[in-house]
Structure 1
Amino acid sequence: MADEKRREHLIEGPAGLIELIIDEPSCPPKGIVLVSHPQPLLGGSPHHLVPLTLARKLNAEGWRVVRPSFRGVGKSTGAHDEGIGESEDSIIVVNHLQHLYPQLPIALVGFSFGAHVYARVACALNNRLHAVALLGLPVGLVPGGRLYEPLALPAECLLLHGEQDEMAPLANLFDWARPERRTVVVFPGSNHFFKGCLAQVAQHVATHLDHAF
């Protein structure tokens, strides 16, 4: 991904500035994808390997990719708000992008804590989104003592998970998904970060977004 195609943009949010890292494709964009990052309290940022890999793949596939920094990360101001404020900020970002580019569809790709944030956004903005993919979605009580509220996600959300996810246990997700027979795409032997199959995961996400047209 060429550096000259990457730019940073700051917008105003409820807690101050929100940093956006924007990667432009080499062709006219087919749409806009927001890609979120893992838990800031554990060092997560838009530069983490998983969101970076997703961004590179989706950008190569012709998407304008936007990676926001959650509160307190990079140039974004404010303090960590357990997903609540981050969801409010993400809705501000979607509104901003839809105002600037009303002709382009917008999709969400969330990972880890960022998957929880985008799950909240998907519940609020379902009819305004082109597609949603959530990777390593934490549900319920996870190691480290954090509790993630189960959400009534739109049925068309793509859920991808590592079989041996040590940070967002697959069993928790299955307990949530079982009553409604929700589909979960599981990568056998993979951990929370999809080690050894991240390229496959990125391709699966890209294919899902294209099929949503």
Structure 2
Amino acid sequence: MKAHLKTGTMRLDGPAGSIEVIVDAPVHPPRGLAVVAHPQPLLGGSATHKIPQLLARAMRDEGWLVARPNFRGVGASQGTHDGGIGETDDVMAVVAWLRSTHPELPLALIGFSFGAFVQSRVARRLADLGEAARHVVLAGLPAGEVEGQRRYEPEGGLSGLLIIHGENDTRVALGALLDWARPLSQPVMVVPGADHFFTGRLPVLRSLVLSHLTCI
């Protein structure tokens, strides 16, 4: 194993009990802090899903200290699924822990699918507290009614925000996301030919996320 590939698991106290967190740490002092949130637990999503894992390790390799929490009821995390409300509280606890380790470093919030919805809420709460994240990346963000008869109203009007969506996403229709984004004048980065899981387009997703982290 190469020296820069450092991954470990820890437990944090959260509002609903223990939160299992996978931590991807660079060997050298980190350049920033990040929380990467995983897709819908009700559909098998976890912190080891290929997309959060890919993004977390890519950021770690660029020098970021990255935390990937398992949402409530996933892995060793306690509690039960709460539709994004309790999960927001849990990510806030992870952010507080990360910031306590390196309070001087910038924070990035990265989320995919359900995790993107949760991160929009976390980003809004931090901004309202005057503690805004410097970078927010939401990929496959659910908006309106999505597959499975679930409905989402993500937070908008966030600074440092990049939204990435697949042109051919059938789980979260691009049109529904644009209907949400239009009144907010929120730009959306569309990856041509990509589905919800960015099949065959993961290098593009990785590149877009890393490029955004060098902005602002």
Category of TM-score, reference length = shorter chain:
over 0.9
Within 2, Cα distance between the matches of 1:199 and 1:190?
11
Q: Which residue of 2 aligns with 1:103?
A: 104
User: What amino acid is the match of 1:99?
Assistant: S
Q: What does 1:47-86 align with in structure 2 at a 5 Å threshold? A: 47-86=48-87
The SS at the match of 2:95 is: helix
Within 1, Cα distance between the matches of 2:209 and 2:159?
16
2:195 is the alignment partner of 1:191: yes
Within 2, Cα distance between the matches of 1:134 and 1:22?
20
Unaligned runs of 5+ in 2: none
Contact 1:59–1:65, Cα closer than 8 Å, also in 2: yes
Unaligned runs of 5+ in 1: none
Within 1, Cα distance between the matches of 2:177 and 2:124?
17
Once the two structures are aligned, what percentage of the paired residues are identical? 49
Q: What does 1:23-62 align with in structure 2 at a 5 Å threshold? A: 23-62=24-63
Q: Which residue of 2 aligns with 1:14?
A: 15
Q: Which consecutive segments of 4 or more residues in structure 1 shift more than 6 A? A: none
User: What amino acid is the match of 2:169?
Assistant: D
Tell me the CA shift for residue 73 of structure 1.
Answer: 0.7
Q: Which residue of 2 aligns with 1:202?
A: 206
Superposition CA RMSD, Å: 1.5
The SS at the match of 2:31 is: coil
Q: For this pair of structures, how many residues does the alignment match? A: 212
Within 2, Cα distance between the matches of 1:69 and 1:13?
12
2:135 is the alignment partner of 1:131: yes
Contact 2:11–2:18, Cα closer than 8 Å, also in 1: yes
Within 1, Cα distance between the matches of 2:184 and 2:81?
32
Alpha carbons of structure 1 residues 71 and 151: separation in structure 2 relative to 1, 3 Å: same
User: Structure 1-normalised TM-score?
Assistant: 0.95
CA offsets 1:27-51 (integer angstroms, 9 cap, x no match): 2210111111000000000111111
